[in-house]
Amino acid sequence: MSKTDILKQIVAKKKERILLAKQALSPEELIAKLAGLPATRPFKEAISKPKQISLIAEIKQASPSGGIIRQNFNLEEIARFYQEAGVQAVSVLTEEDFFSGNLAYLNQVKNIITVPILRKDFILESYQVYESRYFGADAILLIADLLTKDKLLELMQIADSLGLDYLVEVHDEKELKKVLSLKVPIIGINNRNLRTLEIDFKTTEKLFTLIPKDKVVVVESGIKNSQDVLFLKILGASSVLIGTAFMEAADIKSKVEEVMGW
C-alpha cells in the first residue's frame, strides 16, 4: 500500500460504513432520537483560555502511520488519567478500520470526564454530524481537504443547529483560504500531511501568521515535548491536540504534566 493512497482508502471505507449505518438506523430515525438529549459541553470555551495554552488530549489505539500505539488499551482508565491530569478537552478517535476506534467510545468517555469531547473522524456527510450528537460528542472534526466549500458550510450549519462546535482542519494555504472565507471560529493546523502521513512542523510556522487573531487556533500532530508546547504558546496558539506522545507513555498522567509543564 503506497502512502499516498491511505486517505483514499480511509474515505472509501468510511463511505461503506456510512451506508451500513444508514441501513441500521435511517437518517429520519436518527434525527428523531436527538430530541431531549442533554446539552453539549462548550468546547470552544474550554480550549481558548486567555494567556495559557489548552490541551485537547487524544484517545486512540492505533494509526495508519504507527500501527497499534497502545497495547493495553483501557479506554476508561485513559479517560480517568486525562481527567486527573486536568486536560481542557478530550479527542476520541472513532474511525474503526485504520485507527481501531468506535463511536461507542464517545459516551463511555463522557461518563468519566467532565470536559468536552471532540469526535475525531473522517466526516463526509450530514448523517455523521447527527450521529456525532447522538453518540455524545460536543464537537466534531471537519477536514478541509475532504470537503468542498459548500459541503463544509452545510455541515457547519447542521452542527450549529445541534449545538456542536467544530474544529476545521487545514494543512496548506489553499485549504486555509477556503476555511477563512467561511468564518470558521476554530481552525486546526495539522502538521501531518494526510496523504503522505509525513509530519512537518514548518506547516504551523507558515500558516499561523496567515490566520486572523480572533480565531481559536489548535495545532495538531508531531507535538512531543514541553519545548514544542512552549514554542506554540509563544507563537500564540490557543490549544494543542496531542495523542501519540500520551498513548505511548507508561504513565499517562505524568506524561501530560511533563509535556504541558503543569
| Residue positions counted in the chain | 262
Active site residues: 58, 60, 120, 169, 190, 220-221
Cβ-proximal residues to 177 (8 Å cutoff; 6+ apart), any chain: none
Nearest to 162 by CA among 135, 144, 188: 135
Q: Using CA atoms, how far apart are residues 49 and 166, in angstroms rounded to an integer?
A: 17
Cell of 204: 504551523
Residue recorded with cell 478517535? 93
Q: What is the DSSP letter of 243?
A: -
Report the relative pairing of strands 89-93 and 54-59 from DSSP bridges. parallel
Q: How far apart are CA 141 and CA 125, in angstroms?
A: 12
* Contact in structure between 206 and 186 (CB atoms under 8 Å): no
- Return the closest-CA partner of residue 138 out of 96, 86, 100, 88: 88
* Beta carbons within 8 Å of 167's beta carbon, 6+ residues apart: 43, 118, 139, 140, 141, 142, 186, 187, 188, 218
CA-closest candidate to residue 257, choices 89, 3, 81: 81
